[in-house]
Amino acid sequence: MGGYLIYLAIIIIIPIYAQYKVKSTYSKYSKIPTTAGMSGAEVARRILDANGLQHIAVRETPGFLSDHYNPLTKSVHLSPDNYHNHSVAGAAVAAHEVGHAIQDKVGYSALRLRHALVPVANISSKLAWIFIMIGIFVTALPNFLLIGIILMAAGVLFQIITLPVEFNASSRAMDEIVSLGLISNTEERDARKVLNAAAMTYVAAAAVAVLELVRLIMIFNNRD
With a cut of 60, say whether residue 60 has pLDDT above it: yes
- Identified catalytic residue from 42, 97, 176, 187: 97
169 HSE (CA, 13 A, CB side): 30
What pLDDT score was predicted for residue 63?
95
- Tens of pLDDT, residues 90-120: 999 999 999 999 999 999 999 999 999 999 9
Sign of the CA dihedral with 101 first, then 165, 20, and 26 last: negative
Q: Nearest 10 degrees: CA dihedral of 179, 182, 188, 191? A: -120
SS3 47: helix
C-beta of residue 100 within 8 angstroms of C-beta of residue 169 = yes
Q: Catalytic: 60?
A: no
What pLDDT score was predicted for residue 2?
58
What pLDDT score was predicted for residue 137?
87
> Which stretches of the chain are DSSP H helices?
2-29, 40-50, 80-84, 88-106, 109-137, 142-179, 185-223
Average pLDDT taken over every residue of the chain? 93
What pLDDT score was predicted for residue 3?
65
Q: Between the CA of residue 112 and those of 18, 41, 107, 109, 171, what are the distances in Å?
A: 27, 26, 7, 5, 18
> Minimal CA–CA distance to 88: which of 167, 179, 190?
190
Q: How wide is the angle at C-alpha 176 spanned by C-alphas 173 and 179, nearest 5°?
A: 145
Alpha-carbon gap, residue 35 to 184, rounded angstroms: 7
What pLDDT score was predicted for residue 9?
74
The pTM score is 0.90
